[in-house]
Structure 1
């Protein structure tokens, strides 16, 4: 009787813990898995390919997971669309997100960031040979595509082109398709993302090559996860010191002629952009 009562009490306690804490039953801490949010549709960064996941963000995530004590087999990859990232962290759907996630003051109100681990620059993608758009100042009266939930389109509208016609899509692949077909005149987001799209287009698209912002990519974690932030920052520092960061970037941008701005890269974790 006592054993039965004890088992029931233990089960009830576990169920309660699951309901209120990420550290409870069924979380990565109890099932030996770590859940990481990435993009599935960004060539060169986070891309799902034949059941595997490749890209610079994926390599950084694997390195961090290893430093946290997880093997690649213990990683559960979760798709993290731009507009869903904050909710995924707040709900405990993932342990951290590494998905071209720019650190902003607005986002820091609801989630925390480790990093930055990379500094990109916002740029424009156009059809090969199109000289009508050579920078954001040329976008007035033009049709521009970006992804719902990203900061890129807002930046263009606020700082450069009030009269731009904005089309928002759920992913960058959809924006690239709209550009191919002539529905829009340009796509805007960070240069490293655009480089991957240009590479995947087999020469039909090109990056303008005049970045006009600095985007500090952070690793998103649930608000208040101070210990996890410290461990992730330590992992990023190690990755930069041992050459793994440089190798991962070179491997994932091969053939794109993309070179990150050496003034900002590699960045200092918990440095500028994450104060």
Structure 2
């Protein structure tokens, strides 16, 4: 009797072990999040057309670029953990390892390259203005003199225009870009300034479709890169993924889908490592 009891118990243990092993194999074969494999990606949560968190999920050009890159790195969409990357936090997040990479309208410059590495660039943007669709009075930066020029509180965009290009511009600071858009629509301001890609994203929202247009002034060059931790081998892998995204036309499709409704005339996809000053 004792032998039979031990044998039965052993059989139960063996059955459980086989079952657990089978489950483990299925998880790995599945390749989804059940296998525990994750990648953490930093994006903006509040920039329509580029990186926005919505009740339906995450949308925007940066999101599409990051998702494509993640796939090339071996991660499915359900294996991505999105992290909000505010402008002031991006270098710190990479240095601490809070994220694997950041795609968040992240302009490459000398000061940032001292702290982190960049793959790309993957988009060449420019500082521009957004005006009402029926306003043809602003055709050059000088035309902003005596105009009410809006940007968000703390932004350097409007100040740059005032200091360097249009010293008589009447600067207006609003708490958000959406507030600037409302002011533009109500004629409380004449123009909103920041990167053209950001302006196109906001103007592409359904509520504003057809009401605004980009001025096409190209006042600065903003080379958007994907930030990685200093010395990370991800830089080379991400560059390979970006080159493939351009080659198979997925890059242009992402631009058209997210920024096209604002009649955004994008620059050609930049060459990897080619920083336009």
TM bracket, shorter-chain basis = 0.7 to 0.9
Matched, 1:242 2:245: no
Check 1:228–1:98 CA distance in 2 against 1; reply closer, same or farther (3 A cut). same
Report the CA distance between 1:260 and its aligned residue. Answer: 1.2
Q: Equivalent residue of 1:101, what SS?
A: coil
Report the CA distance between 1:63 and its aligned residue. Answer: 0.8
Q: Distance in 2 between matches of 1:181 and 1:84?
A: 34
Within-5 A mapping of 1:221-232: 221-225=228-232, 227-232=233-238
Is the radius of gyration larger for structure 1 or structure 2?
Answer: 2
Q: Equivalent residue of 2:134, what SS?
A: coil
Residues 104, 273 of structure 1: 8 Å contact kept: no
Matched, 1:268 2:274: no
Matched, 1:217 2:220: no
TM-score, normalised by the number of residues in structure 1: 0.76
- RMSD of the TM alignment (CA)? 2.7
- Corresponding residue number in structure 2 for 1:161: 166
- Corresponding residue number in structure 2 for 1:175: 180
User: How many residues are aligned here?
Assistant: 242
Among 236, 240, 259, the alignment partner of 1:253 is: 259
Q: Distance in 2 between matches of 1:145 and 1:250?
A: 27
Q: Equivalent residue of 1:271, what SS?
A: coil
Q: Distance in 1 between matches of 2:106 and 2:198?
A: 12
Q: Distance in 1 between matches of 2:155 and 2:124?
A: 16
Among 67, 73, 76, the alignment partner of 2:81 is: 76
- Corresponding residue number in structure 1 for 2:27: none
Q: Distance in 1 between matches of 2:127 and 2:227?
A: 20
Residues 96, 219 of structure 1: 8 Å contact kept: yes
Q: Equivalent residue of 2:238, what SS?
A: helix
Q: Deviations over 1:130-159 (max 9, x none)?
A: 344333223334443334676633532342
Moved more, 41-50 or 165-174: 165-174
Within-5 A mapping of 1:35-114: 35-114=40-119
Give ranges in structure 1 of 5+ residues lacking alignment: 1-29
Give ranges in structure 2 of 5+ residues lacking alignment: 1-34
Q: Distance in 1 between matches of 2:230 and 2:156?
A: 21
Q: Equivalent residue of 1:99, what SS?
A: coil
Moved more, 110-119 or 182-191: 182-191
Moved more, 38-47 or 83-92: 83-92
Moved more, 170-179 or 103-112: 170-179
Q: Deviations over 1:103-131 (max 9, x none)?
A: 11222232221100111222101233234
Check 1:163–1:86 CA distance in 2 against 1; reply closer, same or farther (3 A cut). farther
Report the CA distance between 1:217 and its aligned residue. Answer: 0.8
TM-score, normalised by the number of residues in structure 2: 0.76
